[in-house]
Amino acid sequence: MELRHTMKGRRALTAVAITTGLLLTVSGCGGGDDGDKPESAASSSQSSQSDDSGAKEESQTPSQETVLAEVKGDDITLTISSAVRDQGGYVTVSGKVTNGGGQFWIASNWRGDERELSGNGASLAGASLIDSKGKKKYLVLRDTQGRCLCTKFEGGGVEAGQTADWFAQFPAPPVETTAVDFQVGAMPPASIELTEGE
């Protein structure tokens, strides 16, 4: 009699174990966007895809930072990342300035020599675009009070080892002019290609 109850108990446990195994298998294989993949394979696939997309994003980030031109002078590196001709009849040039020296860099000689520009402080007010083909020089645009349409550096410059973004707006050269030289302060001229804005 005891043997009979023991056999029945073993059969019941076996049936429960098989049923549980089947339920786990079915729930692992069922539903979702991954078709017939088991859940563990789907999740590992998703994590590898997210890892891949993260790696792609990281690898794309540096390449998205376009560099049209880069010039150096006295521990300062000027990088130009865009020069866009807008439909309003002006060109916006932008980029970064990096202070590679060990001291605070004062941008005072970038503001220009004109008396009208003296109120702009440390800025790109003295920058210009030179169209050598058309033999013309374009100065930074200003408002009626002589304030330039350009970056004014907070604190008068850039801390040692730091980088600051900048921009400057100029009257647009004729449409047939596609390349100009950007000049500011004592920095060497930087040749840049103009692109059309949207």
Which pLDDT does position 120 carry in this prediction?
81
For residues 86 and 179, membership in a common domain is answered with yes
Which stretch of 3-7, 85-89, 124-128, 133-137 has the lowest confidence by average pLDDT? 3-7
What confidence tier does 79 reach under pLDDT thresholds 50, 70, 90?
Answer: very high
Closest to 74 (Cα-Cα) out of 158, 141, 176, 12 = 158
For residues 162 and 92, membership in a common domain is answered with yes
What confidence tier does 16 reach under pLDDT thresholds 50, 70, 90?
Answer: very low
Which pLDDT does position 139 carry in this prediction?
93
For residues 177 and 98, membership in a common domain is answered with yes
For residues 109 and 164, membership in a common domain is answered with yes
For residues 27 and 102, membership in a common domain is answered with no
Which pLDDT does position 11 carry in this prediction?
57
Q: What is the pLDDT of residues 41-72, one digit of tens each?
A: 444 444 445 454 444 444 444 446 789 999 99
Select from 41, 62, 83 the last residue of a domain: 62
Select from 12, 45, 62 the last residue of a domain: 62
For residues 100 and 174, membership in a common domain is answered with yes
Which stretch of 24-28, 132-136, 148-152 has the lowest confidence by average pLDDT? 24-28
The mean of the pLDDT values for the chain is 76
pLDDT of 77 over the 90 cut: yes
CA 13 vs CA 3, 8, 18, 26: distances in Å:
15, 9, 9, 20
Which pLDDT does position 90 carry in this prediction?
94
Which pLDDT does position 160 carry in this prediction?
92
Higher pLDDT, 196 or 115: 196
For residues 79 and 18, membership in a common domain is answered with no
Select from 21, 47, 62 the last residue of a domain: 62
Half-sphere exposure of 123 (CA within 13 A, CB side): 23
Tell me the C-alpha distance between 20 and 177, whole Å: 76
CA 54 vs CA 8, 19, 37, 51: distances in Å:
55, 40, 23, 5
For residues 123 and 152, membership in a common domain is answered with yes
For residues 11 and 81, membership in a common domain is answered with no
Instruction: Supply the range of the domain harboring residue 111.
Output: 69-196
